[in-house]
Structure 1
Amino acid sequence: MTHHAPFQCSRRLFLAGVGTTFAGALLAACGDSTAEVAATDVPVGSAVIVGKFIVAQPTAGEYRAYSTVCPHQGSTINAVDGDTVVCPAHGSVFSIADGSVLTGPSGQPLTAAHLEENAGTLSVGQ
């Protein structure tokens, strides 16, 4: 019968593993942190969902962008309903004009995203 000694993890191996795991998790969480959409594809008085962002045009020529992450429990907002967006998990409804909560349970507004317009293209990022 062969007897094997139990595996022992050195401090160096442990720290390397922790660092590698953290870096991988960080990269996975970041994913694609930018998106682009033609300004003409965003309807006046409504919004579109592009990647991880909500791009809205509350009034003609005025653009806003928000994260699709619902501030209530982190679910992904995936529905536009006229001048609002709706979280499918618990039904929170948010205004596209300013990201405010119209119907809870969310107690926090949408997180604004950075938006730039250049030659008819809207670029959105964190």
Structure 2
Amino acid sequence: MTHLDDEPTTAPPAHDASVSRPSRRVVLASAGAGVGAVALAGCGSAQDAANTAVSSASDAAAGAVKDAISKATIPVGGGKVFADQKLVVTQPASGEFKAFSAVCTHQSCVVADVADGTINCACHGSKFDITTGAVKNGPASSPLPEKKVTVSGDGISVT
């Protein structure tokens, strides 16, 4: 009869410190990079893909905020700057809404605020008319580009 105590035992192999193994982080990062490279291979350059992703994300974010503008948030005789969307919406007279690019035509700073009938750039002091976007005070020499405003119910959308 054989007893269990008589059977030879084998110890698990000891860790061999001389064998270099990549860390879990390196393995995961390499796998992710490989998948990304394969996905991009058929769709153009990595830069094109990155530009498309950024553009799509910013378009979606801009659309969401533009559609969410409440008429009540735009003061009569004033306006509001949506810096993330590079948009300024004004209400020169009750119920009359205007929208302009919030990028100053002088050196491309985003305008800071709307006060006293003007859209104001804090970078160099340019001021633009809240009704037309025309320059009221330089150094800017070109008006702010106007955007199309659609009023529906209590909301405003800008395209």
What secondary structure is seen at the aligned counterpart in 2 of 1:33? helix
Determine which of 63, 66, 69 is the counterpart of 1:37: 69
| Amino acid in structure 2 at the alignment position of 1:40 | A
Matched residue type, 2:145:
T
TM-score w.r.t. structure 2 length? 0.61
The answer to whether 1:17 aligns with 2:46 is: yes
* Among 72, 77, 81, the residue aligned to 1:49: 81
How much identity, in percent, do the aligned residues show? Answer: 28
How many pairs does the alignment contain? 113
**Inter-partner Cα distance in structure 2 for 1:89 and 1:31:** 28
Matched, 1:61 2:107: no
Name the structure where strand makes up a greater proportion of residues: 1
Q: Cα RMSD over matched residues? A: 2.3
Give the aligned partner of residue 137 of structure 2.
Answer: 103
- Superposed counterparts of 1:81-92, under 5 Å: 81-92=115-126
Larger fraction in helix? 2
In 1, Cα distance between equivalents of 2:155 and 2:55: 29
**Greater Rg, structure 1 or structure 2?**
2
Structure 1 alignment gaps of length 5 or more: 1-11
Question: Aligned letter for 1:112?
Answer: E
Q: Which amino acid aligns with 1:16?
A: S
Q: Aligned pair in 2 of structure 1 residues 25, 121: CA closer, same or farther (>3 Å)? A: closer
Supply the distance in 1 between the matched residues of 2:56 and 2:132 (Cα, whole angstroms).
Answer: 30
Runs of 4+ aligned structure 1 residues displaced above 2 Å come to 15-34
1:103 Cα deviation after fit: 0.5
Deviation at 1:48, TM superposition (A): 1.4
